[in-house]
């Protein structure tokens, strides 16, 4: 380090064409020519693809042959390739932090339209880096050991698959699920496209594996309430909500349910979307994992009505408690159970929090919630399902089998008034539902679609197969659903749409309307985003680090995405993504350590006046005061490198590595320096 | 007198705006704007910092002093700061800076703070364009040129003082104006 | 005690200011695709929602969906050779449900209709007469402009003329044609005057100087006629000082909101129902007389779908003691047009010749089906249209058509 200090600065500058991505808008040769005239620049080149092997090779050769001791590359965003070029710099024999990157693609060629102006901007940005880089110091990457345990949030098919993958490889997994049972939306489906295998048949073995796996700690009816720490060492608080049944003691015999003072199920059953009924004590559904009952304090007679301000419920002790009698010696029922907060430490986190289906009340012209024979697709899944409220008989709320059914595509998808995106799965599940309706009944089925979208392996073939079964496929978005004015008594509805391929307005009388509702972010996604310090796209889906090259990573190191929380996708894609997220988590864990950017701050003791201004500013309590020397001291291990203390220090005695004052002042000077006309 | 304002090759003035963007939200949002091929004014020069809390008021003052016509600071939304609360620290400094630069004769609108999350590429586009429009309305700031003027005045003033030792009125409080024969009489 | 928030406060924004940017007054079919509104048309996915929801979709050779595609492909000449687009009643149904937010009703279709008429030598006589009247007399019925303010003599309260006020008024009340000349329209005006007086509103009218706002001219094809009326009225507005325009005519409201800003209108505009809903707290104690009626409300297109003011008129009706509000099958965004917009007011004969059913009849059937005593409306076109329809549609229980303001005025006694 000291040996290089008095050496003259010799900078190599490289401007990348990025094919034509940069070169079409920035005159790269002019930039290279201009930079060659700047002080300390020894080499100034332009090249087609700097990130390619020959490009990196060029840097390494120049370092050796031209005795470069600084490297500047003007190319894409440092968030994409800084790592690459630091590596090239290091391979050339220099400390990697003698490198500086200039973003002339994302911040220049892609966003501007005037070639001359874009070129001048590139020159200014390059000059800033050329002026900055002489101040760079050699730094060392810090390695921090990683905790091998993993937290998976959400136990739908994506969370389940990721959990099993990690657990089978011997990693300890904590799987947290908000609902009383795992399974997510997939557990509600009847059959799945394109194979038409029964959803529960393929899912329940995986659910059982989760329930019994020695490496998986399963916490259902639980929610993450606090996340602290960083990659490799997250401290997470999970709130286990009271189900008023002691999990370890319940055997899942359901004697309590059978003996409840309510002889008949009376309350809407959430799993069946309110189409079925349950008792105050109930099993979420037959194949629920864990197979443990739950008591709903909102309706159980042994509780006072209404929540306390803290969210808890008060025991009224008014009930005969026949459930407790039935449970007997097992003593699994505990009305005094309270929410418990558990703290765990993990090294990586996989988010698999899923989606919510669109609420069709937002498209009032489809009559959902007004006409009883209008269903959502998910409701129909339950109605068709053998374990559903009608035991698989396709009958409507009036008990009758429909003679004609209309399936309305794109409800809450591809619509500026609701959700703009295509939900990707609706066309295929609509075809599947049409097939199932034909299988269960003699009904005539109409599919009203805008565009039939069936990408993916075996999907078009599936479309072809079910189309042959003889359903009506009408290319036109349904505009109106209203009761048949000529037959008001039967509840028959008219579905009105333009058949755009025959240029005709259709008014089809049907008994049942099924709305193919789209997928949208869960309402709590925003809270989760804050809790885990993630980013969301403008639509509210969790944002991946890079749409193509880092599709399961997030901007927060150590947190990965799986399934529909990142965007709508079908089951195969969710499972594939869950596997990818698990692999990303593995690659971190098996490396054993995380590298930390050496952008921490330190105090120049001789300059510190001991004013203590910095101490309360640090959110990580990394700064302490040495009473003996009367100086502030920064604990490097705790410092995360935000630089807030640096900006506040009145005596300028705190320095942030990689972002030293002098480096930034040089950049300011550089971007503002006059350019050649 | 040298003119340090930014001119396009055809001699028209065009503003230069220095931006300090935090690594986690606004810089990423600007990358997103790029990936989405949104188009905005090219007058902005982004300097990446890890956090808006790193924005030392001196950076802003220095940028104006070196010829920036406007300064834009971008950070994460309240409660979303990657470093918990650096953006709040930035907000406090920003409010102080607004008053300070006004006292220095710089229109406060030349300094802007915006919370732009990583997903808000569109907001980067809008804010940059708005900022460029605002600064265009305000015209060149050109502090370096003013420095030169002030230096010359000070020189003239010093010379004046040296030549007429008796004239105490030379140290008039009106020194910001050029020393002409008229004002010397006052 | 803290003041409770008024749920209807927000609507006094001027929608037109933001919206005016989608096209400008010089936009033609040739330049349309270069405007912001036109670029939305390039995003059309041909889903057919517009045609499916169009009340006259059955009778259109070129559905709105097809018009967009013909425009994009350069085949628009074929469309304007057909009289298909004359069936558009400018009801905003297509625009409101369009998944791409394409401005069909007030941007694309009027431009097409204008070309249709230029290509058509045969203009429906009834319609032609109305346009001529508007041109010559400033009102479609050909009444003498000097009698425009005559109704004020029967108002029962003082209706100040802005020319005589000589100082800034809060509300410039734009009375409009039907509400000035037609007997049933004047009831609306008298009711509005009474409500203004009861609330102590600082208001004035333009009197005989006022001319039709011209909305139907714009919505049909006569952009030249609209221009001259808009320029006349804008010049008139420029002579006086007022803080806002309030009008009971939903069509005039639409013109002021969307088109007039292109001619320089900067004051906010409100429909009377929006204005009274905003003052509901002051109005409520005055609504003493119970009207024991079952009322159903018909959403006027230019107030409902065009700006989303569905709840203001309903809130007013529900504030009247004794009123039971029931909803027809089609309500709010799904409301069925009375058939009077876009020139439909004067095309009944033409529609009949083409074998088309009357939308007003379709609508009153729905009102009859819900057993209402009163079909409440908020647009002066609807009164005469629905009253005519009730004469031909059989119904057992008597039904009357009343404007919301008339019911309010009756309740304050």
Give the CATH number for residue C61.
1.10.1060
Q: Which of A358, A426, A414, A483 is nearest to C97 (CA)?
A: A414
Q: Which of C127, C131, C142, C143 is nearest to C348 (CA)?
A: C127
Tell me what percent of the residues of chain A surpass a pLDDT of 70. Answer: 99
* Chain C residues inside the 8 Å CB shell of A499: 48
User: Domain spanning B17-141 has what CATH number?
Assistant: 3.40.50
Of the candidates C219, C246, C278, which is a domain's last residue?
C278
Q: What pLDDT, in 10s, does the model give residues B83-130?
A: 888 999 999 999 999 999 999 889 999 999 999 998 899 999 999 999
* Chain A residues inside the 8 Å CB shell of C333: 364-365
Asked if C65's CB is within 8 angstroms of A498's CB, the reply is: yes
Asked if A417's CB is within 8 angstroms of C52's CB, the reply is: no
The pLDDT of residue C21: 63
Asked if A117's CB is within 8 angstroms of B83's CB, the reply is: no
Instruction: Give the nearest chain A residue to B63 (CA atoms).
Output: A668
Q: Establish whether the linkage from the previous residue to A290 is cis, with ω within 30° of 0.
A: yes
Asked if C51's CB is within 8 angstroms of A480's CB, the reply is: no
Q: What pLDDT, in 10s, does the model give residues A187-212?
A: 999 999 999 999 999 999 999 999 99
The pLDDT of residue B167: 55
In whole angstroms, give the CA distance from residue A367 to residue A365: 5
Three-state secondary structure of A277-298: EECCEECCCCCCCCCCCEECCC
Per-residue pLDDT, averaged over A340-369, amounts to: 97
The pLDDT of residue B162: 82
DSSP track, A433-462: HHHHHHHH---EEEEEESS----STTHHHH
Q: Report yes or no on C4 lying in a domain.
A: no
Among B26, B50, B129, the residue to mutate for chain A (most A Cβ within 10 A): B50
* Chain C residues inside the 8 Å CB shell of A479: 48-53, 97
Asked if pLDDT for residue A277 goes beyond 80, the answer is: yes
Q: Which residues constitute the domain of residue C106?
A: 12-119
The pLDDT of residue B79: 84
* Cα distances (Å, whole numbers) of residue B53 to A202, B84, B87: 51, 10, 5
The pLDDT of residue C8: 63
User: Domain spanning A355-520 has what CATH number?
Assistant: 3.50.50.60
Q: Report yes or no on C267 lying in a domain.
A: yes
* Together in a domain, C235 and C147: yes
**Using 50, 70 and 90 to split pLDDT, how confident is the model at C9?**
low
* Chain A residues inside the 8 Å CB shell of B16: 671-672
Q: Report yes or no on C19 lying in a domain.
A: yes
Asked if A365's CB is within 8 angstroms of C333's CB, the reply is: yes
State chain C's mean pLDDT as an integer.
91
Per-residue pLDDT, averaged over A272-282, amounts to: 96
* CA angle, C153 then C158 then C160, to 5°: 100
Instruction: Give the nearest chain B residue to A126 (CA atoms).
Output: B45
Among A residues 258-297, those touching chain B with beta carbons less than 8 Å apart: none
**Using 50, 70 and 90 to split pLDDT, how confident is the model at C22?**
confident
Domain ranges across chain B? 17-141, 144-185
Asked if pLDDT for residue A1 goes beyond 70, the answer is: no
Among C residues 54-73, those touching chain A with beta carbons less than 8 Å apart: 57-58, 63, 65-66
Per-residue pLDDT, averaged over C292-298, amounts to: 97
Q: What pLDDT, in 10s, does the model give residues C231-262?
A: 999 999 999 999 999 999 999 999 999 889 88
In whole angstroms, give the CA distance from residue A73 to residue A56: 10
Among A residues 126-165, those touching chain B with beta carbons less than 8 Å apart: 128
* Together in a domain, C296 and C367: yes
* Neighbour tally for C202: CB within 10 Å: 14
Asked if C330's CB is within 8 angstroms of A416's CB, the reply is: no
Asked if pLDDT for residue B60 goes beyond 60, the answer is: yes
State chain A's mean pLDDT as an integer.
95
* Together in a domain, C79 and C146: no
**Using 50, 70 and 90 to split pLDDT, how confident is the model at A421?**
very high
Q: Which residues fall within 8 angstroms of residue C13, CB to CB, at 6 or more apart?
A: C268
The pLDDT of residue A271: 96
The pLDDT of residue A208: 97
SS3 A636: coil
Asked if pLDDT for residue A28 goes beyond 90, the answer is: yes
Q: Is the dihedral of CA B169, B170, B175, B181 positive or negative?
A: positive
Asked if B47's CB is within 8 angstroms of A671's CB, the reply is: yes
Q: In this structure, what is the dihedral angle of CA atoms A387, A393, A395, A397, given to the nearest 10 degrees?
A: -30
Asked if A643's CB is within 8 angstroms of B30's CB, the reply is: no
* Together in a domain, C299 and C264: no
**Angle subtended by helix axes B26-35 and B121-138, to nearest 10:** 100
SS3 A608: coil
Q: Is A39 within 8 Å of A11 (Cβ atoms)?
A: no
Asked if A451's CB is within 8 angstroms of C48's CB, the reply is: no
Asked if C52's CB is within 8 angstroms of A476's CB, the reply is: yes
Q: Which residues fall within 8 angstroms of residue B39, CB to CB, at 6 or more apart?
A: A111, A112, A113, B125
Q: Chains meeting B at 3+ CB pairs closer than 8 A?
A: A
**Using 50, 70 and 90 to split pLDDT, how confident is the model at A677?**
confident
Instruction: Give the nearest chain B residue to A645 (CA atoms).
Output: B54
| Among C52, C63, C98, beta carbon nearest to A480 | C52
Q: What pLDDT, in 10s, does the model give residues A165-190?
A: 999 999 999 999 999 999 999 999 99
Q: What pLDDT, in 10s, does the model give residues A315-339?
A: 999 999 999 999 999 999 999 999 9
Of the candidates C250, C278, C306, which is a domain's last residue?
C278
Q: Which of A270, A293, A271, A287 is nearest to A202 (CA)?
A: A287
* Together in a domain, C157 and C251: yes
The pLDDT of residue C259: 87
- Strands A472-475 and A444-449 turn out to be parallel
Q: Which two tokens stand for residue C48?
A: 């057919």
* Together in a domain, C186 and C147: yes
Q: Is B106 within 8 Å of B141 (Cβ atoms)?
A: yes
**Using 50, 70 and 90 to split pLDDT, how confident is the model at A5?**
low
**Using 50, 70 and 90 to split pLDDT, how confident is the model at A530?**
confident
The pLDDT of residue C14: 39
B40 CB-side CA count, 13 A: 27
* Chain A residues inside the 8 Å CB shell of C99: 410, 414-417, 477
Per-residue pLDDT, averaged over A595-601, amounts to: 91
**Angle subtended by helix axes A661-672 and A115-132, to nearest 10:** 150
A450 part of contact set with chain C, CB < 8 Å = yes
Q: Which of B34, B126, B141 is nearest to B74 (CA)?
A: B126
Q: Kindly tell me whether chain C and chain A come into contact, counting contact as 3+ Cβ pairs under 8 Å.
A: yes
Asked if B84's CB is within 8 angstroms of A117's CB, the reply is: no
| Among A417, A476, A488, beta carbon nearest to C47 | A476
* Together in a domain, C171 and C145: yes
Asked if A640's CB is within 8 angstroms of B119's CB, the reply is: no
The pLDDT of residue B2: 41
In whole angstroms, give the CA distance from residue A169 to residue A172: 9
Q: Kindly tell me whether chain C and chain B come into contact, counting contact as 3+ Cβ pairs under 8 Å.
A: no
* Cα distances (Å, whole numbers) of residue C274 to A11, A68, A181, A401, C314: 69, 73, 50, 47, 11
Asked if pLDDT for residue A403 goes beyond 80, the answer is: yes
Which residue carries 């569109």 as its tokens? B122
**Using 50, 70 and 90 to split pLDDT, how confident is the model at A412?**
very high
Q: What is the pTM of this model?
A: 0.87
| Among A415, A416, A505, beta carbon nearest to C57 | A505
Asked if C330's CB is within 8 angstroms of A482's CB, the reply is: yes
The pLDDT of residue C119: 83
Q: Chains meeting A at 3+ CB pairs closer than 8 A?
A: B, C
| Among A364, A416, A503, beta carbon nearest to C100 | A416
Of the candidates C70, C88, C119, which is a domain's last residue?
C119
First to last CA, chain C: 31
| Residue range(s) in chain A whose domain bears CATH number 3.40.50 | 2-141
Per-residue pLDDT, averaged over C354-371, amounts to: 95
Q: Which residues fall within 8 angstroms of residue A329, CB to CB, at 6 or more apart?
A: none
B36 DSSP 8-state letter? T
Asked if C58's CB is within 8 angstroms of A414's CB, the reply is: no
Q: Is A88 within 8 Å of A59 (Cβ atoms)?
A: yes
The pLDDT of residue A322: 96
C53 part of contact set with chain A, CB < 8 Å = yes
B87 part of contact set with chain A, CB < 8 Å = no
| Among A617, A656, A668, beta carbon nearest to B59 | A668
The pLDDT of residue B119: 86
In whole angstroms, give the CA distance from residue A281 to residue A294: 6
* Chain B residues inside the 8 Å CB shell of A531: none
* Together in a domain, C379 and C288: yes
| Residue range(s) in chain A whose domain bears CATH number 3.50.50.60 | 355-520
Asked if C51's CB is within 8 angstroms of A498's CB, the reply is: yes
Asked if pLDDT for residue C217 goes beyond 70, the answer is: no
Three-state secondary structure of A293-361: CEECCCCCCCECCCCCCCCCCCECCCCCCHHHHHHHHHCCECCCCCCEEEEEEECEEEECCCEEECCHH
Asked if pLDDT for residue A596 goes beyond 90, the answer is: no
Please, what's the b/e burial string for A534-561 (b: 16 or more CB within 10 A of its CB; e: otherwise)?
bbbbeebbbbbbeeeeebbbbbbbbbbb
A vs B, Cβ pairs < 8 A, gives 151
The pLDDT of residue B176: 45
**Using 50, 70 and 90 to split pLDDT, how confident is the model at C220?**
low
The pLDDT of residue C219: 62
Among A498, A501, A504, A518, the residue to mutate for chain C (most C Cβ within 10 A): A498
Q: Which of C321, C286, C309, C318 is nearest to C404 (CA)?
A: C318
Among the listed ranges A361-375, A587-601, C121-135, which one has the minimum average pLDDT value?
Answer: C121-135
A vs C, Cβ pairs < 8 A, gives 78
* Chain A residues inside the 8 Å CB shell of C50: 479, 498
Q: Is A70 within 8 Å of A40 (Cβ atoms)?
A: yes
Q: Which two tokens stand for residue B130?
A: 């708005």
Per-residue pLDDT, averaged over A483-498, amounts to: 92
Q: Report yes or no on C3 lying in a domain.
A: no
* Together in a domain, C182 and C267: yes
A6 CB-side CA count, 13 A: 2
Q: Which of A368, A403, A397 is nearest to A487 (CA)?
A: A403
CA A174 from chain center: how many Å?
18
A641 part of contact set with chain B, CB < 8 Å = yes
Asked if B125's CB is within 8 angstroms of A111's CB, the reply is: yes
A425 DSSP 8-state letter? S
**Using 50, 70 and 90 to split pLDDT, how confident is the model at B186?**
very low
Q: Chains meeting C at 3+ CB pairs closer than 8 A?
A: A
Q: Which of B116, B16, B30 is nearest to B70 (CA)?
A: B16
Asked if A480's CB is within 8 angstroms of C334's CB, the reply is: yes
* Together in a domain, C156 and C274: yes
B122 part of contact set with chain A, CB < 8 Å = yes
User: Domain spanning A601-656 has what CATH number?
Assistant: 3.30.70.20
Count how many domains chain C has.
3
Q: Which two tokens stand for residue B57?
A: 């008021």
Q: Is C68 within 8 Å of C49 (Cβ atoms)?
A: no
* Together in a domain, C305 and C252: no
Return the CATH fold of A2-141: Rossmann fold (3.40.50)
């Amino acid at each position: 380090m000291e040996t290089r200090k008095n050496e003259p600065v010799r900078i190599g500058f490289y401007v990348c064409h990025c094919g034509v991505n940069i070169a079409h808008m920035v005159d790269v040769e002019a930039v290279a020519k201009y930079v060659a005239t700047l002080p300390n620049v020894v080499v100034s080149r332009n090249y087609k693809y700097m990130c390619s092997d020959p490009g990196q090779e060029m840097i390494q050769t120049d370092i050796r042959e031209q005795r470069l001791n600084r490297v500047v590359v003007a190319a894409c965003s440092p968030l994409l390739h800084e790592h690459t070029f630091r590596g090239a710099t290091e391979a050339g024999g220099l400390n990697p932090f003698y490198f500086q990157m200039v973003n002339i693609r994302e911040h220049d060629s892609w966003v501007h339209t005037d070639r001359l102006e874009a070129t001048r901007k590139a020159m200014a940005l390059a000059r800033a880096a050329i002026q900055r880089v002489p101040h760079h110091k050699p730094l060392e990457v810090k390695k921090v050991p990683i905790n091998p345990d993993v937290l998976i949030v959400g136990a739908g098919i994506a969370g389940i698959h990721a959990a099993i993958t990690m657990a089978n490889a011997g990693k300890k997994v904590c799987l947290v699920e908000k609902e009383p049972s795992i399974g997510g939306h997939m557990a509600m489906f009847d059959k799945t496209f394109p194979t038409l295998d029964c959803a529960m048949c393929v899912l329940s073995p995986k659910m059982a594996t989760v329930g019994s796996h020695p490496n998986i700690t399963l916490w259902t009816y639980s929610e993450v309430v606090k996340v602290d720490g960083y990659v490799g060492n997250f401290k997470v608080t999970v709130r286990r909500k009271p189900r008023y049944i002691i999990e370890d003691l319940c055997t899942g015999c359901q004697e309590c349910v059978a003996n409840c003072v309510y002889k008949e199920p009376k309350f809407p059953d959430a799993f069946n979307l309110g189409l079925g009924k349950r008792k105050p004590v109930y099993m979420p559904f037959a194949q629920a994992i864990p197979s443990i009952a739950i008591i709903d304090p909102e309706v159980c007679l042994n509780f006072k009505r209404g929540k306390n301000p803290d969210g808890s419920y008060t025991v009224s002790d008014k009930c005969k408690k026949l459930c407790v009698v039935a449970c007997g010696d097992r003593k699994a029922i505990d009305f005094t159970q309270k929410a418990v907060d558990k703290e765990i430490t993990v090294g990586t986190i996989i988010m698999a929090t899923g989606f919510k289906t669109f609420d069709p009340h937002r498209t009032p012209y489809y009559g959902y919630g007004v006409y009883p024979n209008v269903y959502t697709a998910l409701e129909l899944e339950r109605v068709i399902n053998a374990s559903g409220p009608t035991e698989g008989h396709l009958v409507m709320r009036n008990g009758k089998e429909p003679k004609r059914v209309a399936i309305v595509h794109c409800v809450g998808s591809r619509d500026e008034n609701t959700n703009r995106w295509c939900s990707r799965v609706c066309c295929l599940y609509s075809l599947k539902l049409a097939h199932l309706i034909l299988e269960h009944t003699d009904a005539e089925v109409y599919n009203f679609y805008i565009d039939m979208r069936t990408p993916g392996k075996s999907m078009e073939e599936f479309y072809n197969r079910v189309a042959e079964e003889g359903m009506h496929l009408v290319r036109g978005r349904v505009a109106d659903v209203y009761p048949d004015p000529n037959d008001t008594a039967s509840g028959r509805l008219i579905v009105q749409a333009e058949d755009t391929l025959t240029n005709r307005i259709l008014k089809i009388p049907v008994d049942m309307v099924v709305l193919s509702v789209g997928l949208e972010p869960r309402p709590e996604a925003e809270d989760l985003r804050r809790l885990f310090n993630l980013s969301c796209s403008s639509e509210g889906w969790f944002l991946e680090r890079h749409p193509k090259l880092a599709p399961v990573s997030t901007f927060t190191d150590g947190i990965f995405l799986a399934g529909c929380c990142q965007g709508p996708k079908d089951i195969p894609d969710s499972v594939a993504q869950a596997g990818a997220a698990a692999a990303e988590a593995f690659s971190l864990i098996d490396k054993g350590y995380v590298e930390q950017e050496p952008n921490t701050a330190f105090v120049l003791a001789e300059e510190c006046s001991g004013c203590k201004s910095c101490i309360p500013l640090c959110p990580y309590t990394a700064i302490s005061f040495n009473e003996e020397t009367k100086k502030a001291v920064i604990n490097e291990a705790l410092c995360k490198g935000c630089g807030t203390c640096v900006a506040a220090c009145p005596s300028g005695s705190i320095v942030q590595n990689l972002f030293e004052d002098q480096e930034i002042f040089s950049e300011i000077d550089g971007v503002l320096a006059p350019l050649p006309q | 007198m040298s003119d340090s304002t930014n001119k396009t090759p055809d001699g028209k003035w065009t503003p230069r705006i220095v931006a300090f963007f935090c690594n986690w939200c606004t810089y990423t949002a600007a990358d997103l704007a790029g990936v989405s091929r949104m188009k905005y004014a090219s007058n902005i020069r982004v300097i990446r910092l890890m956090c808006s809390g790193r924005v030392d008021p001196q950076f802003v003052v220095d940028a104006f002093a070196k010829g920036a016509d406007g300064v834009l600071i971008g950070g994460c939304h309240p409660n979303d700061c990657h470093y918990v609360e650096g953006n709040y620290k930035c907000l406090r400094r920003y409010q102080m800076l607004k008053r300070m630069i006004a006292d220095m004769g710089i229109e406060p609108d030349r300094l802007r703070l915006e919370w732009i999350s990583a997903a808000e590429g569109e907001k980067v586009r809008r804010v940059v364009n708005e900022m460029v429009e605002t600064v265009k309305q305000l015209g060149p700031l050109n502090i370096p040129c003013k420095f030169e003027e002030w230096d010359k005045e000070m020189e003239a003033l010093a010379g004046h003082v040296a030549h007429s030792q008796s004239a105490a009125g030379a140290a008039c409080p009106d020194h910001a104006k050029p020393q002409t024969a008229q004002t010397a009489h006052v | 005690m803290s003041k409770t928030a008024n749920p209807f406060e927000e609507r006094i924004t001027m929608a037109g200011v933001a919206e005016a940017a989608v096209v400008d007054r010089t936009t033609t079919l040739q330049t349309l695709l270069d405007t912001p509104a036109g670029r939305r048309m390039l995003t059309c996915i041909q889903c057919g929602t517009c045609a499916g929801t169009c009340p006259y979709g059955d009778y259109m050779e070129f559905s709105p969906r097809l018009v967009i595609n013909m425009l994009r492909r350069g085949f628009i000449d074929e469309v304007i050779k057909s009289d298909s687009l004359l069936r558009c009643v400018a009801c905003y149904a297509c625009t409101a449900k369009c998944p791409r937010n394409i401005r069909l009703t007030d941007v694309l279709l009027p431009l097409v209709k204008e070309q249709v008429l230029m290509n058509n030598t045969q203009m429906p006589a009834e319609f032609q007469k109305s346009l001529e009247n508007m041109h010559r007399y400033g009102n479609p019925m050909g009444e003498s402009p000097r009698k425009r303010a005559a109704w004020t003599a029967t108002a029962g309260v003082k209706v100040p003329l802005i020319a005589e006020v000589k100082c800034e008024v809060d509300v410039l009340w734009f009375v409009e044609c039907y509400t000035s000349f037609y007997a049933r329209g004047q009831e609306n005006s008298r009711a509005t005057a009474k409500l203004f007086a009861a609330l102590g509103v600082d208001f004035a009218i333009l009197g005989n100087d006022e001319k039709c706002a011209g909305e139907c001219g714009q919505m049909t094809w006569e952009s030249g006629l609209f221009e001259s009326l808009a320029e006349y009225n804008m010049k008139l507005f420029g002579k006086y000082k007022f803080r806002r325009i309030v009008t009971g005519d939903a069509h005039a409201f639409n013109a002021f909101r969307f088109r007039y800003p292109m001619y320089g209108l900067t004051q906010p505009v409100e429909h009377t129902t929006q204005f009274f809903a905003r003052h509901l707290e002051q109005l409520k104690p005055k609504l003493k007389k119970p009207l024991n009626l079952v009322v159903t409300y018909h959403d006027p297109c230019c107030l409902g779908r065009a700006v989303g003011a569905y709840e203001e008129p309903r809130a007013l009706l529900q504030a009247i003691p004794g009123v039971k509000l029931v909803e027809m099958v089609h309500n709010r965004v799904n409301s069925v047009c009375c058939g009077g917009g876009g020139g439909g007011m004067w095309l009944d004969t033409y529609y009949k010749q083409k074998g088309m059913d009357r939308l007003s009849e379709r609508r009153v059937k729905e009102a009859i089906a819900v057993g209402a005593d009163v079909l409440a409306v908020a647009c002066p076109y609807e009164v005469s249209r629905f009253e005519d329809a009730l004469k031909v549609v059989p119904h057992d229980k008597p039904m009357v058509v009343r404007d919301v303001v008339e019911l309010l005025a009756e309740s304050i006694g």
